[in-house]
Amino acid sequence: MIAPSLLAADFARLAAAADAVAGADWLHVDVMDGHFVPNLTIGLPVVQSLRKATDLPLDCHLMIEDPDRWATGYAEAGAHNVTVHVEAAADPAKLARDLRAAGALAGLSVKPKTPIEPCLELLRNYDTLLVMSVEPGFGGQEFIPEVLDKVRIARRHVDSGHLRLLVEIDGGITEDNIEAAAEAGVDCFVAGSAVYGADDPARAVAALRERAARAAARPAG
Ligand code: DX5
Ligand code: ZN
The active-site residue out of 25, 30, 33, 187 is 30
Long-range contact list for 195-203, CB < 8 A, 24+ apart? Answer: 195/2, 195/4, 195/5, 195/8, 195/21, 195/24, 196/4, 196/5, 196/6, 196/8, 196/9, 196/10, 196/17, 197/8, 197/140, 201/4, 201/17, 201/20, 201/21, 202/20, 202/21, 202/22, 202/23
CA-CA distance, 197 to 169, in Å (whole number)?
19
State the distance from the centre of ligand 2 to the C-alpha of 109, rounded, in angstroms.
9
CB 140, CB 179: distance < 8 Å: no
Residue 111 in contact with ligand 1 by CB distance below 6 A: no
Residue 172 in contact with ligand 1 by CB distance below 6 A: yes
Q: Where are the alpha helices (DSSP H) in 54-200?
A: 67-76, 92-101, 148-159, 178-184, 193-196
Please indicate whether residue 98 is annotated as part of the active site. Answer: no
Atom of ligand 1 nearest to the CA of 141: 14
Helix axes of 44-53 and 67-76: crossing angle, nearest 10 degrees: 20
Ligand closest to CA 59: 2
How do the pLDDT tens digits run along the chain, 221 residues long? 999 999 999 999 999 999 999 999 999 999 999 999 999 999 999 999 999 999 999 999 999 999 999 999 999 999 999 999 999 999 999 999 999 999 999 999 999 999 999 999 999 999 999 999 999 999 999 999 999 999 999 999 999 999 999 999 999 999 999 999 999 999 999 999 999 999 999 999 999 999 999 998 887 65
Please indicate whether residue 170 is annotated as part of the active site. Answer: yes
Whether pTM exceeds 0.85: yes
Ligand closest to CA 177: 1
Atom of ligand 1 nearest to the CA of 136: 6
The active-site residue out of 33, 127, 170, 187 is 170
